[in-house]
Amino acid sequence: MDLRQLQTFVAIYESGGISRAAERERTAPSVLSHHLANLESQFPKPLFVRNPRGLLPTEYGERLYAHAVQILRTVQLAQEDIHNMSGEIHGQVAIGMAYTALHGIGKQLMRTVLDDYPGLSLMVSETLSGSTITQMMEAHIDLALAYNPTPDPRIKATALLEERMICIGKKEIIGNTAAPITVKALLDLPFVLPRRGTMGRSIMDDPRLQKQFEQRAKMQTDNVNAVNLFVEEGLGCVIGSKSYLREQLKFGDVAYRDIVKPEMLRTLFLCEHSDKPPSRAVELMREIVLRLIAAEVKAGNWACERVLLEPEGWPS
């Protein structure tokens, strides 16, 4: 098995056929067929089966794809890292960002990379915390900003800050905005909940509370735009932080009430690979992200209950 065979396999897997993969790789289909045949000869069963639409991966193909993506990404990072030792940092960094984190520093992050680091290529992915570990293990992202990620020894998760959760919605839905709302009263309101499961995430640190809200939710979804539409159309409310829908809150399109009895909190983590060294490009992106978060918190734009990372952990 060599890198060319793995590159061919990944191209066919992602394109769904040899002809489409050949167009993507700008080579002849016969060349890809040759590499695929040599690769498949090393395994007891085929990696693909044919159907009228092209090639479908078998169980063997699915398993190999997960390994192949990691291997090719590791090789790419190694090449970039060695080149970067001689001067300006080049390469691609993929970062997963929870919705609130994206709105908190997304614009500043893009502007910083474009203006100050022309050699860097940034790939931004919105991550639900339940999918963060999977995306990192499959080498789709190098770093992630996620809330309450699932513990995993392969991931180093650094707690950055803790946010207080509030009830957000139209005034006619959430009631008296001058007074806090209890969890008991909130459970009787129509509310939308980000879906949990494999791709979803807990919206609060307390699993007991999370379970109660899952049982009483009027709607659950893993689509952030669906959540926003539900709230903005006055269909119900959502539980979020003050950084969530902050523009709508600022201009009075929606309002909020503090949640009490009990208070609800969630924690933002920076997630990194613990089982492989970061490239210089990834290290640089980590520093930029932390610096931008610290600046937003200091300016009062990112409302948080308390900062959890020790002062020496933030870049100067």
- The third-level CATH classification (topology) of the domain covering 88-161+267-313 is D-Maltodextrin-Binding Protein; domain 2 (3.40.190)
Chain region(s) in the chain for CATH 3.40.190.10:
88-161+267-313, 166-263
166-169/237-240 β-pairing: antiparallel
d(C-alpha 145, C-alpha 159), whole Å: 10
At residue 70, the pLDDT reads 79
Cα of 65 vs its chain's centroid, Å: 21
At residue 137, the pLDDT reads 66
At residue 132, the pLDDT reads 62
* 166-263: CATH class: alpha beta
Chain region(s) in the chain for CATH 1.10.10.10:
3-81
Task: Summarize the confidence of residues 157-166 as an average pLDDT.
Answer: 92
Q: What is the CA radius of gyration of the chain?
A: 23
Q: Say which residues have a Cβ less than 8 Å from residue 20's Cβ, sequence separation at least 6.
A: 54
For the domain spanning 3-81, the CATH number is: 1.10.10.10
At residue 129, the pLDDT reads 52
State the chain's mean pLDDT as an integer.
85
d(C-alpha 151, C-alpha 271), whole Å: 10
